[in-house]
Amino acid sequence: MTKVPVQMTVNGEERAEFVDSGMTLLKFLRDKIGDLTAKAGCLQGTCGTCTVLIDGEPRLACVTLAEDCRGGTIETVSGLSADAELHPLQQALLDHFAAQCGFCTPGMLMAAKALLDSNPHPDRAEVEDALSGNICRCTGYEPIIRAVLSVSGSNVCGDTAERERCDGNK
Amino acid sequence: MTLSYQTFSHPQAASRFLAERREARLLGGGTILVRRVNEGDISISTYVRLLAPELKQIHVADNTVRLGAGVTMATIAKTPALAFLAPVARSIGGPGVRSAATVGGNLFARSPHGDFGVALLVLDSVVCIEGPEGFNELDLETFFKSRRQLAHGSIVTAVRFRRPMPEDFRFVKISRVKPNGAAVLSIAALLSRTEGHVSAARIALGAMANTPVRAHNLEAALRETALTPREIERAVVSAAADTSPSSDAIASEWYRKAVLPVHLRRLLST
């Protein structure tokens, strides 16, 4: 296979590697630089567990080529926490029991981060839309949505109508 | 499998390259093509990336909109001049898909996908194509009927349409998975009214055939009506003649045919 040079910034660190041409960003992250936080789920761009941020935008690493990311800025879950302190989103998912098997969690975290970076105070509908590309088979989504809303400072259960619905789910 | 990645700055050069290599494909957002390679499609061994800046540009002049084929759904959703198309763009997958999915790529998406193409079809869009024989333009309806017969190496570079009055444009996408799952069906409607009666009607349907299609029979039935409930009820039954839906994992042919009149009725009654 043809090896080509690829250079990008991953979690603030410049990375330059020779990769097989046509390699996906997901394989680059996992196999080339050892960042296993982006998961390989469907490899179809459907499940969202490979979600990373490229230049601040949420992108699906499994259907994105590493060569298309040259010069780009990539953010993964590995870059969320500084030293031993968890990012507020990570802490919120813990506090709200929003991770069970954990496989969707990296994608959920990065999709949520993309939302809060551009919209620090989303409403529930905006959170649902932001996570709409991420599938979870375990939690039923509600704990994850509450966790994201708690970080945003929004009422975890939204407006009165939503609060009544939430209270019914407790 | 050995893959390669080629970049070009000019559509003509990319077109010539694609025409000469059957195993090469033009790369848009990657949501269709890279997925196919991931799934083991060995007919693709070369990705072609066209870096021409005009592919990512949006031009609005005198109410004529020109969308570069590389413009993404995310960009359309946040462009004020295209606010009427924002709901359509936001219905395409989740944020990760919308950041990558392009106008041009959506025109080649297989049913039940391709909902942005449904909206473009109702807008009487023209497709700009750079091909081995040079530059060409096709109305979108003809494009959809002949997209599998396009000369190898043909590249969609832009789509052009007239921006409608926002109140004339309607769109709905029906999906099982909320909020942004694949379509059971999608409907775009452009209805102009004069003195309370429909003076011009364009209706396009998604996931009701193997490409987005116009509902010509329904359009004829709606013209000069006042869109009363009775007139709508009588008109929507004529839409079936323009459809040939398939069964897939999202919905059966039977279900699509059964619910189309329901959703047409609701959309036309708004």
- Same domain, yes or no: B34 and B85: no
Residue A91: Cβ within 10 Å count: 15
ipTM of this complex prediction, to 2 decimal places:
0.93
* Cβ proximity of B187 and B267 under 8 Å: yes
Kindly report whether the peptide bond that precedes residue B95 is cis, defined as omega within 30 degrees of 0.
no
The three-point CA angle A124-A58-A64 to 5° equals: 150
| Separate counts of helices (H) and strands (E) for chain A | 6, 5
CATH, residue B224? 3.30.390.50
**How many structural domains does chain B have?**
3
Topology of the domain covering A88-169? DNA polymerase; domain 1 (1.10.150)
- Rounded Cα distance, B269 and B176, in Å: 22
Domain ranges of chain A: 3-79, 88-169
Q: CA B124: distance to chain centroid?
A: 11
Q: Residue A157 pLDDT > 70, yes or no?
A: no
Distance, C-alpha A48 to centroid of its chain: 8
Do B39 and B115 belong to one domain? Answer: no
Q: Which CATH number characterizes residue B149's domain?
A: 3.30.465.10
d(CA B200, CA B222): 8
Q: Given A59, A128, A134, which is nearest B99 (Cβ)?
A: A59
Q: Is the pLDDT of residue B202 over 70?
A: yes
Tell whether A40 is within 8 A of chain B (Cβ).
Answer: no
**What is the DSSP code (8-state) at residue A19?**
E
Sort out which chain A residues have CB atoms less than 8 A from B34's CB and list them. 24, 45, 62-65
Domain containing B18: what range?
4-50
Chain B nearest CA to A42, separation (Å) = 10
Euclidean distance between CA atoms B187 and B213, whole angstroms: 10
Whether residues B30 and B67 share a domain: the answer is no
**A27: nearest CA partner in chain B:** B38
Residues of B in contact with A64 (CB under 8 A): 30, 34, 100
Q: Is the pTM of this model over 0.90?
A: yes
- Do B137 and B67 share a structural domain? yes
Min Cα–Cα distance to chain B from A43, Å = 6
Mean pLDDT of B208-217: 97
- Helices (H), ranges, chain A: 25-27, 88-95, 105-118, 124-130, 142-152, 160-169
Please tell me the CATH code under which domain A3-79 is placed. Answer: 3.10.20.30
Tens-place pLDDT, residues B23-62: 999 999 999 999 999 999 999 999 999 999 999 999 999 9
Task: Quote the pLDDT of residue B232.
Answer: 97
Closest residue by Cα to residue A44 from B206, B40, B179: B40
A66: left (phi over 0), alpha (psi -120 to 50) or beta: alpha
Beta bridge mates, B48? B6, B26
**pLDDT tens profile B143-193:** 999 998 998 999 999 999 999 999 999 999 999 987 778 999 999 999 999
